[in-house]
Every structure is written in C-alpha cells, then in structure tokens.
Structure 1
Amino acid sequence: MKKNLINAFMLLLVFALFTQCKKDEYELIQIVKMISVEEMRALPVGMTKAFQAKKTGKIYIYNDYLFINEPNEGIHIYNNSNPSAPTNVAFLQIPGNVDLAIHNNILYADNFIDLLAFDLSNMSNIKQVKRVTDVFKQLYTAGNGKYLYTYKDTLVKKEKANKGKMYDAAYSSISSMQSSSSGQGGSMARFTLMSDYLYTVGVNDLSLFDVKTAANPLFVKSINLGWGVETIFPYENKLFIGTNTGMHIFSAIDAANPIRLSTYSHVFACDPVVVQGKYAYVTLRTGNNCRQASNQLEVVDIEDPTKPKQVSVFPMQNPHGLSVSGDNLFLCEGNFGIKSFNIADKNKVGDNLLQHLNNIKSFDVIAGPKSLIVTGEDGIYQFNYTDAKNLKQLSVIKVKN
C-alpha cells in the first residue's frame, strides 16, 4: 500500500521532468516511478539487434567503434572504421544506463545502482562478466534502500505538459585520450579510467574501482566531494572534477588514494572542464538548473595545481561540452551550434573564432583520431577537422523522431 501511494505521488511529478520537444503537437517527458531492487535486477540486460536511437546521451570511442548511450535504455554500437559511413551493429540493453567507459576490451556501465562489466572480445557476442552491486546509491529512495527511482520517456500532448527545462544530468558527461587500452569519452562524462582504476562521480562523491583485472572490477571506496558534482576529466596523473560551484583538482599519483590538491571556485553554474598542458578550459552557462548569471569560457592556469588561477574569460552564447586538439578548441553552444577557436594565445581565445556552424544543436564533442564527433539533439555528427577553419561534415547518425 505504501509503495503504491509513493508511486502515485511520484507520477504527479512527471510533468516537471519535461526533456525536449519532438513534434509541434507532442512533447517528450519522463515518467518517474519506483521499483524494488529485486525488480530492477530482474530487468533484461544484454545484446540485442541494432535499431535507431530515440535520444542521444553520452558518446565514447574505442578502437574502430562508436558507442552512443540512449539515456536509461542502453548503448548503441556502431562500427566507425569509416566515419563517413558508420554502421549500426548492435544494441546493448542496460536499463538505467547513462555512463560508460572501456578498458582492455571490458565495457563498464551503470545499471541504476549497480556497475556492470561486459566482455567486448567478440563484438558479435558481447557477454556480461560481472555485476558490482549497490555502488551508485543516489537513485535510492529515502528510507530503507529497498526501492529506487526509475525513469521512462513517453510522448504527451503539449497542452498537458509543464513547460519545464531540460535536465542536464542526462548530458552531464569528458574528453580525454587514454592509453591504447582504453577509449575516449566526451567532455561531460562521469566515468573515466587511469592507471588501471575506474573513477566515477555521483552527485556528491568520487568512487574508485580497481580494474587491474579488467573483467573483475573491484569497488575500493568512495570519497565525499560535497553536492553538485557533474563531470570528471583525467590528465596525466591528475583528476579534474567539475561541480556546479567549481573545479576540484586531485592528485592520482597513488591511483588508489587520490588526494585533493585544490578547488577552483566560481559562481553556481553547470561546469564541464577539459585540460591540455598547463591550462584548463571551463564552460559556464545560464539556463536549466545551472542558475549562472552569464555564459562564458574560462581559461585557468593549473601549472601549480595547488593554486589554480584564472587567466582569461570570454563571453559565449550557451556553452556546453568542449574538446581540445593541438591549438584548437571545439565548443558546443547548445541551440546556437558549434564553434572552433584557435587557443595558441590564451588571452585572445574569444577573438580567434575560426568557424561557427549554427545549424546544429550541440551538447558534447570528442576530437577523435579519425573525426570530430558532435552530439546533437537530432543525432551524432562527424566532421573532418583537419582544417579547424573549415569543418567538413562526413556523416550524421539521426535519432528517430
């Protein structure tokens, strides 16, 4: 009886979780409900036939494959050996999934409150090899930990939907090139790999998993970071953690025991971060749940990671994810498109706009070895970025309306 009453109450909140408009007459919303942990773990998980995604989430590249998360549903897998013609090869069904990372042919993915590991050695027969239970506890309901929140997309008539804002956690993903044994994610990721450890961030913590034996991830511990954690970016032997009040810098010289070196603070804002050399690039934006007063790109000197200092600030339109390659920075401007900048002079980045493609609603980007991969509202775009002043579209993977 109590469970039914709570479910009924949660369904009343459905219209507060409007995610995006799909057609003139309908809107896509998320229905919230509760299920027991036993019901959650009984949901089907595993490889199915390929089909077209309805929505894009995190992106990840590993060898010749492109992995596209469909929030709360699973992962679409594309053979991307030819970025001009990516081939949809399979879908990995994982209810409650929003993040992923890959190390030594093992894919790690969240399944609501659990971490799952899948063997990718045979891409035509992907198999689950491990489940680590009760490690992502933010989805638990208040109380005794027997129930958790789940989300399901559905279409409703526009006049019935609350005019809420898109919740950014679905896109809170981080751009980083790891060693050849690991892959590369987008700039808003909550999963990353370094030195045989998987690091994940929740809304208020950093969790560590020992993946020295890749197929047997072992939970090590969680470190409390305070509320509002959004992204994680690895660079050399450090972890850069974006929160909605600043950027934490951790030393991971001892990979099993990361130590906080400093915190670079800013006003309350959504905060993806990427790093190259002795500089970090941070975007802050207005809208949604971010409550930031302005839209801007910040360049931060991190040569002394214990004393990060702001170098320059540049106004933007509504910056989201970003990626750096050489002297070029690629920045997603949400509904305003994607931009490329020359960043050789850290004090003139905003003055050195190379190109602005304003016809793509972009949220995240990876400057990969073969192509620039951009997550848009209507699909995944790939560009030849040999000339950052003249991005040339190679392909687009459309989502299903």
Structure 2
Amino acid sequence: MKLKFLLLSLIFFSIMSCDEDNTDYEFVTVATPELMSIAAFRNSVDIVAPKNIEQAGKIYAYNNYIFVNDVNKGVHVIDNTNPKAPKAIKYIRIPGNEDISVKDNFLYADSATDLLVFDISDINSITLIERLEDVFKVYDFLIPAEADFINYGNFNFETEIIVGWTIATERREKVDESQIDVVFDGAMLNNGSSESVTGQGGSLARFQIVDNYLYTVGSHEMIIFNISNLSEPTFVKSQYSGNNIETLFQAEGYLYIGSTDGMYIYDLVNAESPAYVSEFIHWTGCDPVVVDGDYAYLTIRGGNNCGEQESVLEVIDISDKSNPTLSGRYLLENPYGLGVKGDMLFVCDGTAGLKLFDKSDPLNIGMTKSFKNIQATDVIPLENTLIMIGGKTLYQYEYVNDGVELVSSFSLN
C-alpha cells in the first residue's frame, strides 16, 4: 500500500515539474452559474418572517420603515418608528433583486428581468400585485469580480435564470484573449397621508421616482415606466444612456447618471424621453454621484475591478449643465456612497469609515470629523436622522452642531 501511494506521489510531482516548464498552462478562477428555471424563479417570491442577512446591499427609507437589500436575494423590512430600537419585521424574498423604490405604499422592485409591484399599505400583510415580465433586457447577473473566466455550460437564457455563482480554481491551457469573440444572444452580460409620499434611496441606487415616472438604469440603458396608476405601471421605453452605468440620482428636473467612466446629465423636459445634456469624463473607477444646488459630488473608487487609479472625491460645477467642470479633487481611501444635507457632506470611505466634510464653500471643502473602526457603504440623509449601512450593520445618527452623533447600531445578523 505504501508503495502505491509513493508511485502516485512520484507521478503527481513529475507532472507538476513538467508543467513548471510549460508556459502553455495557468491556474485561473472560474465562475459557474447556479441556475433555476424561469418558472420556478417567478414562483419563488414570498413574504416571510425576518431572517439574518447574507450580504447587505442598498438601503431605502420610506415613512417609518427602512428597507435593506440582501444582494440578489430580497429585501429586509425594518420598523424604524423608534430609531433607538429598530426592529426587523418582515423579509420579502425576491430572487435577483438589487433595487427598490416606493411611492404611496406601492413598492417597486427588480427581480432579474422583471419589475414587481408590492402593496405595502398593510406592512403586516404585504402582497405582490403586479409583475411586468422581461422589461429589463440586459440584466447584471452579478458576475463575481474575482472571476477570470465564466463557464456558462448549457445555460439557456430563454428558459433559465442565473441565481448565484460557484467559484473554483482550475488549471487551463492559456488562451489568446485577442481571439475571443463573446456573444450571448440578446442577453449580453456586463461586468398614510393624503399627500403623495415617495421614499428615499442612497447614492448607490439605480431606481428613481420623479412625479409619475419610475426611471431605472442598467449597464448601458435607461428604462422608463409610467406609474400614474401606481398598482399597474406601464413600460414606456428603453434608451441607450451611457457606458458601464452604476447609479442614478435626480434633482430639480435632471437625472445624473454615474458610470465607471464619468457622469452623464439628462433633462426631464419630456418626462417620457429624457434628453442627453452633457457628460463629465474621468478616469475609470466606481462612481456614485449626488447633487446639491450648482455642484455635484462624486466618489471615484480605484482598485479591484473598479480601475487602477487612486480613490478620490470630486466636486463638479454644474451651474452650466451643458458644460460641467471640475472644481476640486480630494484623496480618499476606499470610497463608496455619499450624501448631502445643508452644509454637510457625508462620505462612506469603506473600511476607513464615515467622513464628514464642511461644504459651505464648495470650492474649498474640508473634513471636520471621521468615524473610524466601522465599515461604511452608503448613507441616506433624512430630515432628522442620517441612516448608514456598512457590513451587516445599520447605523443611525442624529444631527448636532458639529456633525452627527450615533443613535443606534442595529445588527442585521
């Protein structure tokens, strides 16, 4: 028996030794999709009891509730009637979900290629009331950033949907990337008052409600829905709107689109057909944007799959929408989302924590406070509190004269 193992070991090391001299092979990280039939996928939406979060995504605030996306899985509903003691009350299972928006107790959510509408007028009895199928033709399947190759196998995009990924390291023969021609049919993958009440998302949002329209963005397109009948939205159109789009922000009749290449500005003179106005181009990097008055604020994150440049905060003069210009640039460490309220600018600097800037003079902003030893991903500056998500924790702060003070930290585990 010992001799058998010795022979096997010699064979293995002999092969490995040969490979060391063979430059035709390499070890690569391969992502293989986890598949579900579209029929089963659409039948898996459900309202269940609260559960632990797996991967916290985007946040959204509406009335006394906070909604936290569980990346590609669904939405956690938090009762925030008492910000000092928030309470998880429901979990909406929505496979393929990244974003939501809420208006007058109707919640709109993406589910891979579909748009779903939920009635949340009774938060204890949330119901799915409408589904618009196949309205998102280009769907970001959340391809893992660490993947060198994608093994689609026998994936049939007409009958199946990708619901997750399996990562493995494989030894493969080297491929001349200049000879690769990737085509994937049409589904090209890319790395309680009488007054109307609309909720508020963070800077990483891709959904925005403006009056009677819901605007959404994908990797390169904007898709518009008429929601004048809140329970029965209608698809209006899809239009090309830029490259590598990541975020969407609206302010005073304009849409500001953040992409890895820069910021695009569209006007809403014709609500059903936003018109391109201008763009501000920067080096490649992950790029959310918020706007306040005549200035736009962008964080650009370098490293990983976001680009090789440094990470910065940029201040853009947009007083002339047709000609946005750079007014200032400030170094950061690992920025994600950001938000503004009054003279305060809140920047989520990833593992470097939450940073506060005085922007009373937008041409000369300065950091006034830093909350370290926390993970900061995105913020929503509400009227009385600042909500922040980081890791698997929901933080809430109250405004004070010199910035903010912590009110509560709520674990989503």
Q: TM-score range by the shorter chain?
A: 0.7 to 0.9
CA deviation after TM superposition for structure 1 residue 48, in Å? 1.0
Structure 2 CA distance for partners of 1:32 and 1:364, relative to 1, 3 Å: same
2:252 equivalent to 1:236:
yes
Aligned-pair identity in percent equals 37
Distance 1:318 1:144 in 2: 36
Moved more, 132-141 or 184-193: 132-141
Cα distance change, pair 331–223 in 1 and its aligned pair in 2 (3 A): same
Aligned pair partner of 1:258 in 260, 268, 274: 274
Is this contact kept in 2: 1:284–1:292, CA < 8 A?
A: no
Work out whether 1:33 is the aligned partner of 2:49: no
Alignment partner for residue 270 of structure 1, among 279, 286, 311?
286
- Give the drift of 1:51: 2.2
In structure 2, do the counterparts of structure 1 residues 317 and 334 end up closer, same or farther at CA, with 3 Å as the change threshold? Answer: same
- What displacement does 1:105 show? 0.9
Contact conserved, 1:74 with 1:94, CA < 8 A, in 2? Answer: yes
The counterpart of 2:401, out of the listed 387, 390, 394, is 387
Superposed CA deviations along residues 321-357 of structure 1, whole A, max 9, x for unmatched, are 00000000000001111100100112221xx211101
Alignment of 1:116-195 (within 5 A): 116-139=116-139, 145-151=158-164, 181-195=197-211
1:356 partnered with 2:370: yes
Determine which of 381, 387, 390 is the counterpart of 1:373: 387
CA displacement at 1:39 relative to structure 2: 2.9
SS at match of 1:107: strand
For the Cα contact (< 8 Å) 2:243–2:261, is it kept in 1?
Answer: no
Q: Which amino acid aligns with 2:359?
A: I
Structure 1: 4+ residue segments shifted above 4 A? 13-17, 140-144
Q: Offset at 1:16? A: 5.6
Aligned to 2:146: none
Q: How does the TM-score come out when normalised to structure 1?
A: 0.82
Decide whether the 8 Å contact of 1:384 with 1:392 is kept in 2: yes
What CA distance in whole angstroms lies between the structure 2 residues aligned with 1:283 and 1:354?
A: 18
Residue 109 of structure 1 aligns to which amino acid in structure 2? A
- Distance in structure 2 (CA, Å) of the matches to 1:203 and 1:236: 24
| 1: CA distance, partners of 2:59 / 2:259 | 20
Partner amino acid, structure 1, of 2:40: E
Please give the secondary structure, in 2, of the residue aligned with 1:385. strand
What is the rounded CA distance, in whole Å, between the counterparts of 2:342 and 2:46 in structure 1?
38
How far did residue 374 of structure 1 move? Answer: 1.0
For the 8 Å contact 1:337–1:357, the answer to whether it is kept is yes
TM-fit CA distance, 1:99: 0.6
Q: Do the aligned partners of 1:195 and 1:255 also contact (CA within 8 Å) in 2?
A: no
- Secondary structure at the aligned position of 1:57 is classed as strand
Structure 1 position 161, deviation (Å): 7.6
User: After the TM superposition, which residues 2-401 of structure 1 pair with which residues of structure 2 at under 5 Å, given as runs?
Assistant: 32-42=33-43, 44-139=44-139, 145-151=158-164, 181-349=197-365, 352-389=366-403, 391-400=404-413
135-144 or 331-340, which moves further after superposition? 135-144
Larger radius of gyration: 2
Unmatched 5+ residue regions in structure 2? Answer: 1-26, 142-151, 171-194
Alignment-mate amino acid for residue 158 of structure 2:
G
Partner AA of 2:42 in structure 1: R
CA distance in 1, matches of 2:358, 2:42: 48
**TM-score, L = length of structure 2:** 0.80
Q: 1:26-66 CA deviation, whole Å, 9 max, x = no partner?
A: xxxxx732333223223x21211122323211100001111
For 1:388 and 1:71, how far apart are their aligned partners in 2?
A: 34
SS of residue in 2 equivalent to 1:189: coil
SS of the residue aligned with 2:334? coil
Output the aligned Cα RMSD: 2.2
Distance 1:308 1:301 in 2: 6
Is contact 2:242–2:264 with CA below 8 Å preserved after alignment? no
Structure 1, residues 101-138: CA drift from partner, whole Å, max 9, x if none?
00121000011110000011111111111100001222
Distance 2:363 2:240 in 1: 35
For residues 397 and 161 of structure 1, the distance between their equivalents in structure 2, rounded to whole angstroms, comes to 37
Secondary structure in structure 2 of the residue aligned to 1:137: coil
Q: Which amino acid in structure 1 is aligned with residue 82 of structure 2?
A: N
| 1:354-385 alpha-carbon deviations (Å, 9 max, x no partner) | 11011111111111123111111131111112
Amino acid at match of 2:246: E
Contact map agreement 1:320 1:333 (CA 8 A) in 2: yes
What CA distance in whole angstroms lies between the structure 2 residues aligned with 1:258 and 1:292? 32
Gaps of 5+ in 1: 1-12, 18-30, 163-178
Q: Which amino acid in structure 1 is aligned with residue 234 of structure 2?
A: L
Residues 75, 91 of structure 1: 8 Å contact kept: yes
| Residues 14/385 of structure 1: CA separation in 2 closer, same or farther (3 Å cut) | farther
Spell out, residue by residue over 1:225-267, the C-alpha distance to the aligned partner (whole angstroms, 9 max, x if none).
Answer: 2430000001011000001101110001221110010011111
Across the two proteins, how many residue pairs are aligned to each other?
350
Return the alpha-carbon distance in structure 2 between the equivalents of residues 14 and 145 of structure 1: 29
Relative to 1, partners in 2 of residues 1:362 and 1:122: Cα closer, same or farther, differing over 3 Å?
A: same
CA distance 1:394–1:144, change in 2 (3 Å): closer
Please state whether the residue corresponding to 2:39 is helix, strand or coil: helix
What SS class does the counterpart of residue 56 from structure 2 fall into? coil
Rounded to whole Å, the distance in 2 between the matches of 1:286 and 1:121 is 42
